Chains A and B, each alone.
Chain A
Amino acid sequence: MADPILDIRGLSRSFGALKATDDVSLDLRAGEIHALIGPNGAGKSTLIKQISGEIAPDAGEVRLRGRSLAGVDAAGRARLGMARSFQVSSVAPEFTVLQNVVLSAQGASGASFRFFRPVMRDAGLLGTAHDCIAQAGLSGREAVPAAELAHGERRKLEIAMALALRPALFLLDEPMAGMGTEGATALGDLLDGLRHRAPILLVEHDMDAVFRLSDRVSVLVYGRVVATGTPDEIRADPEVQRVYLGEEA
């Protein structure tokens, strides 16, 4: 098998006596959706933040395409293609959809210290942005300020911004949170197609979506990975049923 795109080994992080991340190892392979599930407080967001570079681990390492990311900050990791969405949508609210995605394309280009030419007439950035907006299903909404978007549309905008980063992988932190059934299904279909662009590490509470979309699922409990496997294996795992799926299974 080819080397994984993202390889996490022995990652640990404590906050005082609390082990938020306890010797976590997992990987993300080309073309897959790898879901990360776990009860509230299991340390999913803390883990995502260590992968994205927002907080530093106490021990262990994150490798992207075999390269260690130790000492690379969040901006540096984004430039290496780590495209992240946030649990609570995070966009520039006063910018239009188009400006937000152009900003992302500009970030990927690595050239923000250009002072003369108008950015909104930069054919290269605009071309990328329009492509990504179309792929995220937001065509026709380019001129709408992000603050005026419906919740589901803002999620799509985050996907479009992630696409504009020329992603090596997607780190999606609860992309379906707060969406209705219909919206979640539509977004699921979108993610389903994205895995072939770049693999997705998906943190999600919507179990239907997780089991429908994922190639593999890892279960995080108290900062530890208690199981990793295909959706069927996870569903059948007695330990997982006990600690997590509970009455649902």
Chain B
Amino acid sequence: MSAAEVTAMPEGRGGRMTRAQIVNAALALGLIGFGLGAWAMDETFLVTLATKVAILAIAGAGLNLVLGFGGLVSFGHAAYFGLGGYASGILAHHALNYTAMFEWPFVFEGTTSMPVIWLTAMAVGALAALVIGALSLRTTGVYFIMITLAFGQMIFYFAISWPAYGGEDGLPIYVRNGFPGLNTLDPVQFFGLVCVVLFAMLGLISMLARSRFGLALQAARQNRQRLMAVGIRPGGVLLVAFVISGAITALAGALYADLNRFVSPSMLSWHLSGELLVFLILGGTGRLFAPLAGAGLYIALEHLLGGVSDHWQFFFGLLLLGVVLFARGGVIGFLAGGKRHG
């Protein structure tokens, strides 16, 4: 689904699916099928791999909201991913060690409850995005890219130099956090939970893209001058999108910490910001399912090519070059056809 199409087309009109919708459904079923198939064959590692794809897709979906729909190239989304991870790690750390996280206004010993951790991670991500966005959105273009990168690096070095929570060594989570009614240590249950979160987030972004807010956001990408001239200030619209984006990516970070049962500064590194951008370019920037297509392809190639050659990233680079030069719409653009307007 192209960005403009999201608002243009009432979905499923006349009961017939568009090609984009078929591709999206295939991607969703592909992920679920892969995860369940691996579980049926007792391939725990592959279930974990599918879970990783789903989590990275959530992180990419957060970035897609600002990049694909709002046109903001954030090169610092690892900040929210890592902050979400640390929110999870720190809360669990205190709960597992029975140490108070703070004693005023009440004694708080952390938590291992995923719903509480998720809300905390999203709040932390949203707050960080509010501060970083409010400052970064004063700039545009390459300056915006650089300032978001700079903020990301600041948080990265802060995490490295803060010994209380592991510093450079990171912070282990000895037991995966819990979700009421589920055994999250069972890989397939955790996979299912992550899939529910992924599709809930994609549904949320789809809803936002079709709303009044989404129309203004997509207009901000195309022509800020025009948006001002119809009485809408682009700054406010973009900042709200940035905050929602930060919250979604932080949620992914909390899940990623639980997947690995480990948080480290590498979650905050600019490599990860770059990978998230690559997912979207591979998948097709501005398309709702781009992060899933991109993350899936990336992890699959890493796994397959990585087994053949240590220099798999060289071949991956060639692929990326091919996409940028010959298939601007990414995988989804290639499969579903160019932008359709209805």
Q: Taking beta carbons and an 8 Å cutoff, which residues of A are in contact with B?
A: 52, 54, 73-76, 78-79, 84, 86, 90-96, 99, 102-104, 106-108, 110-122, 143-145, 161, 164-165
Contact = CB atoms under 8 A, between A and B. Distances in A.
A115 B226 contact: no
A94 B212 contact: no
Main secondary structure of the interface of B (DSSP, over half): helix
B212 A119 contact: yes
B223 A92 contact: yes
B4 A145 contact: yes
A151 B195 CA distance: 47
A110 B207 contact: no
B225 A90 contact: yes
Interface residues of B, number: 34
A91 to B, nearest CB: 6
Given A94-B3, A99-B215, A145-B341, A75 B210 contact: no
A94 B207 contact: no
B211 A110 contact: no
Nearest to B244: A115
Interface stretch (B25-33, B90-98, B143-151, B231-239): B231-239
A122 B215 CA distance: 12
B3, B228, B233 interface centre (most CB from chain A within 10 Å): B228
Interface string B182-195: 00000000000000
A95 B207 CA distance: 18
A54 B226 CA distance: 12
A96 B212 contact: no
Contact of B231 (A94, A107, A118): A107
Contacts of B215: 99, 102-103, 106, 112, 119-120
A75 B223 contact: no
Contacts of B214: 119
7 contacts: A75-B233, A78-B231, A86-B229, A94-B3, A95-B8, A121-B10, A145-B341
B100 interface: no
B222 interface: yes
A96 B342 CA distance: 8
